[in-house]
Structure 1
Amino acid sequence: MRYAEDHKAQTHQRILHEAAARFRRDGIGATGLQPLMKALGLTHGGFYAHFKSKDDLVEKALRCAVDQLDEARAARLAGDVSAETFIDMYLAPEHRDEPEKGCPLPTMSSELGQRGQPSEITDELINRMLSTLEAGMSAGQGASDKSVMIMSGLVGALVLARSAKDPQLAEHILQTTREQLKQQIINA
């Protein structure tokens, strides 16, 4: 059977999109190559026609996840975003409940650190989030430090809310963190 000229490129993209979703939802370690490929109707051996290793896939899937975030943000919002709006979006119940569509930092950053494989893409995403927060705050003394604290609170609250079994506790974590972080901006 003959494949279309762009079949390999399309398959490569399918693998990237599926891996980006699974890494964000399940984590890197919990995502096996064989189940990943099987979910796409592909063989485990076919993986190596597209990627050198799982580490190669992780890096490329992380880039894919960041690109997907950019596309989703552009579709929802035009122009600059206030820090308050960013906080509301990040700590939304939908972001908590759909990690496969969200920011990779809450799921992937700790694993990358534990594996001793920090990524330049993670640095890029962190710096972009910090810039978005800083741009959305009134330029005052300590805005840079405050944006680091806010971003740490965002990622940490999302991790905790996702790990809570009690839905009321999970919502309480998001709501309280949203309010407290926005209060930090007001008191800037």
Structure 2
Amino acid sequence: MRYSASHKLETREKLLQSSALSAKRSGFSTVGVDALMKAIGLSGAAFYSHFSSKDELFTAIVERELSQSLERLGGGGEGEQDRQRLQRCLKHYLSMTHVEQPEVGCALPALGAEIARSDEQVREQAQLWICRLHERWAQILASDSLAWSILAQCVGALVVARMLVTPDIQQAVLKSSHDEIGRQMAEPR
């Protein structure tokens, strides 16, 4: 039976969404094609009508997830309103909710190590979106180096907090990172 073009696009979107959640929760390399397809109610053979390889799916996941992060965290340009919005976003980013629910948060802390071990195409896609986020933050903060510093601080703090077991220590990592970012943002540029 032949499916419509819209059905194929809907299935592809379901596969991307389901695979991204699975990857951020458990890692991308740990799940096979059959399991990814079973999660959306299809056979493993159907995978190849959407992607030529699992690496191509991972590239699409990285693009989708990081473009969504840019939408959520990027702000609109310059000005005090964007700076305040960025501060609110960073507070939410450095939260226990984000630590405890990696599947609904930013892909960088959850998939960063896998992206770093991936082929050049995946890393280029990640670089493109990370640089776009950095550019937006650099505009808002009026500082190229501060934007890189805050980006690295946020991702690193989340990775460290997720590695820890005790909620009080996790919260201390998040709070100290948030406080330091606040101090850096308050310094005149």
- Report the TM-score when normalising by structure 1: 0.84
The answer to whether the 8 A contact 1:109-1:122 is kept is: no
Which amino acid letter does the alignment assign opposite residue 135 of structure 1?
A: Q
1:45-84 correspondence to structure 2 within 5 Å: 45-70=45-70, 73=72, 79-80=76-77, 81-82=82-83, 83-84=86-87
**Can you give the 5+ residue segments of structure 1 that lack an aligned partner in the other structure?**
none
Determine the structure 2 residue equivalent to 1:105. 108
User: Which consecutive segments of 4 or more residues in structure 1 shift more than 6 A?
Assistant: none
* Residues 45 and 2 (structure 1), Cα distance of their counterparts in 2 relative to 1, 3 Å cut: closer
Q: Deviations over 1:26-54 (max 9, x none)?
A: 22212322211111111111111111000
SS of 1:6's partner is helix
Corresponding letter in the other structure for 1:185: M
SS at match of 2:43: coil
Structure 1 residue 93 and structure 2 residue 125: aligned?
A: no
RMSD over aligned Cα, in angstroms? 2.3
Range with greater deviation from structure 2 (46-55 or 6-15): 6-15
78-87 vs 57-66, greater mean Cα deviation: 78-87
Bigger share in helix: 2
Q: How many residues align?
A: 181
> Which of 100, 120, 128 is matched with 1:124 structurally?
128
TM-score normalised to the size of structure 2? 0.83
Larger mean Cα displacement after TM superposition, 54-63 or 160-169: 160-169
TM-fit CA distance, 1:96: 2.1
CA distance in 2, matches of 1:106, 1:78: 20
Displacement of 1:169 in angstroms is 1.2
Whether the 8 Å contact between 2:70 and 2:133 is mirrored in structure 1 is no
Structure 2 unaligned spans of 5+ = none
Q: Report sequence identity in percent.
A: 30
Q: Matched residues in 2 for 1:167 and 1:134: separation?
A: 32
